[in-house]
Structure 1
Amino acid sequence: MAICFGRVLLIIIILKFAPECTSFQNKFYRSKSKALTAYNRTLTTLSKIGCSVECARDRSCRSASYRETTRECMLSDLPSFVIDLYGHDDLFLEVFGTTEWTLVYRGIPRIGSNPATAWLTGESVTSDPACQQLGNTSCNKHFRHSIASDWSSLNIEQVKIAFYKGSLEQNITFDGRNSTISNWFSQSRILSSTWPGVRANASFNRFKTIDGTRVFVVSPSHSTVGCHDDLHFAAVIATSGWCAYDRPSAYPQIYFATGEHAGKPETMTGMDIADGFAIFIK
């Protein structure tokens, strides 16, 4: 009777946790057997699946390293694709990386700092994890992850830029392979977008400014008739310019189209002012 009860209990445990394990396994991929030099948290788990579960539960975790001999589970906020850069050989470790996006930049509106300069050079930025959150309004610097400085050495597959207003998100995903910190932002690299017309019609400003004013510009056209006819999917106003929408009360001002088509920031037709924008990699 005790043996039967034990078997029933084991079956119940397996059935209860099998879907969870499958779900977590689908969120992780096996990486190279290298160890990172620093971890955010170290704990003990019974298996590599348990280690992956702990990483999935930790919002800051992007990779988990498991040492079976000691049952050590080491969690890191660094994605596994940076291991070649920051890691060292360790044949006794199994490293798992999440398949989720890693936020490397958050552009914050109305703080007086040019977001393109901050992204490209790392000047006047913060790496404080608290400033990753869009809901955090106390940050007075753009957030930039330290790994952004090693862009060309990372094994980046995709890059995403996203614009936010409340629960609304508009984004463009790019092919990040063999890219630099600036040339990923190119029409030829577009993989997908919440704006259907972007891939076929948009021209990109690639972090250069138009009249020294606009950065991160995604636009199907630039009117030569007047500001009222300017069309943009997205435009970040870094400094004062010619049009009325280039002269907000504080900089930077982040405009983005809220529907499927480009909008007109001069009249705010089909446009809104974003709470912020972010750049992700994976």
Structure 2
Amino acid sequence: MDWLTMRGMGWWGLPWLWTAFFLSSGAHQREGLFTRYPGMRIRTPHLTVRLSPGQATACCLTCVQYDSCYGANFHEEDGVCEISLLGVGGRTELVDANQSWNLYIRRNVLQRELVLRATAGSGVSVKDTWLGTTVPTSAQDTCVSMETTSCTTHYRNPIVNHWNQLPISQVILELYKRGLKVASVTFDGRGTSISDWFSFSRLLNSSWGSLNSSATYNYFSIDGHANCARFFFINQNYRGCPLDAGWMVVLDPHHNCCTWDNLPNKPVFLYSSLDVAVTYESGILGTEMDYADVMAIFLQYG
């Protein structure tokens, strides 16, 4: 019996069917309407409903009454149900790790989700934050914004710890300066891991016309050139420090190898402001290479 058939019969009379339909697949399975992620909670829900302990199915039923509901938090012990709705442009709220809660994500509603919001000058490694080896201080609620001054640390969505269970179609990296998007790269996210999606072989498109299937490069990975702390590195060539050229790089704290990456207030996000790879030295001169304030990673589902 499918969803439309049950809706026509009146779901309120079939509690046992709904329990099976929603929850029989168990944690991390994508059958049914919801996927359960234990130990997580959407931070700023729009609606709170008081239920009885153990009534996770009723909480999910509350969610489906709203077309824009993409997730429900449920506290198993006290029966608190929290409903979250998509914001303007499909915007979602921050997700925190919280062992007291279970998060139920509704399938086919959530299309795009923010999973990393990195802040320039925070002093915290972007690479280590992304891979989960460093845990930054708790992000402010305003870290959902790409505005320059809205966030003082990095935000990492704990949903990425379940990467293999997510219905990822694309991974999108975007750079922002003064709240405006200045660069983006889109990757095929199917069959990837948290560490290997950022690669030339998975490149779908970018805001740089020269970064295409015929582009040449010597670094294109999250790991980049680790000895120089150059990560999320898309580099065309090394020809001696003044002539090193590429499209983008994240300069993490503590290490450097050239004048152009010996900069204060790291991490620093460098990107080509032209349609081609340019020298990093031009960033020091304030010409072709520029500095972004925010780096964001989004998952596209479907």
TM-score (norm 1): 0.68
Larger Rg: 1
Q: Percent identity at matched positions?
A: 25
The residue number in structure 1 matching 2:159 is: 147
Local SS of the residue matching 1:181: coil
1:75 to 73, 80, 84: 84
Distance 1:279 1:143 in 2: 10
The residue number in structure 1 matching 2:242 is: 228
**How far apart are residue 98 of structure 1 and its match?**
3.5
The residue number in structure 2 matching 1:242 is: 257
Distance 1:259 1:146 in 2: 34
Distance 1:276 1:213 in 2: 18
- 2:144 maps to 1:132: yes
Return the letter of the residue paired with 1:219: N
Instruction: Give unmatched runs, 5+ long, in structure 1.
Output: 1-30, 56-60, 66-71, 80-84, 89-93
TM-score (norm 2): 0.64
Distance 2:196 2:120 in 1: 23
Return the letter of the residue paired with 1:197: S
Local SS of the residue matching 2:245: coil
Contact 2:114 2:297 in 1 (8 A): yes
Contact 1:198 1:220 in 2 (8 A): no
Distance 2:165 2:289 in 1: 37
Return the letter of the residue paired with 1:41: H
1:41 to 35, 46, 53: 46
Return the letter of the residue paired with 1:218: I
The residue number in structure 2 matching 1:277 is: 295
Following superposition of structure 1 onto structure 2, how do residues 29-178 of structure 1 map, counting pairs within 5 Å?
A: 32-34=32-34, 40-42=45-47, 51-52=66-67, 55=68, 63=70, 74-75=83-84, 77=92, 87=104, 96-99=108-111, 101-125=112-136, 126-135=138-147, 137=149, 139-166=151-178, 167-178=180-191
Distance 1:206 1:35 in 2: 29
CA deviation map 1:48-78 (0-9, x unaligned): 99822xx3xxxxx6x168xxxxxx9943558
**How far apart are residue 222 of structure 1 and its match?**
2.1
Distance 2:35 2:110 in 1: 16
More strand by share: 2
Contact 1:161 1:172 in 2 (8 A): yes
Q: 1:35 to 1:188 in 2, by over 3 A?
A: closer
**How far apart are residue 245 of structure 1 and its match?**
1.5
Distance 2:141 2:259 in 1: 35
Contact 2:148 2:294 in 1 (8 A): no
Greater CA drift, 269-278 or 183-192: 269-278
**How far apart are residue 257 of structure 1 and its match?**
0.8
**How far apart are residue 115 of structure 1 and its match?**
0.6
Contact 1:64 1:95 in 2 (8 A): no
Q: 1:278 to 1:112 in 2, by over 3 A?
A: same
Distance 2:292 2:162 in 1: 28
**How far apart are residue 145 of structure 1 and its match?**
0.7
Instruction: Give unmatched runs, 5+ long, in structure 2.
Output: 1-30, 50-62, 73-80, 86-91, 95-101
Distance 2:35 2:256 in 1: 49
The residue number in structure 2 matching 1:186 is: 199
Alignment root-mean-square deviation, CA = 3.3
Q: 1:175 to 1:244 in 2, by over 3 A?
A: same
CA deviation map 1:248-278 (0-9, x unaligned): 1221111001121112121224210111111
More helix by share: 1
Distance 2:84 2:107 in 1: 10
Distance 1:151 1:127 in 2: 21
Distance 1:241 1:43 in 2: 49
**How far apart are residue 211 of structure 1 and its match?**
2.7
1:207 to 200, 223, 231: 223
CA deviation map 1:85-123 (0-9, x unaligned): 9549xxxxx855143x21100111111111101110252
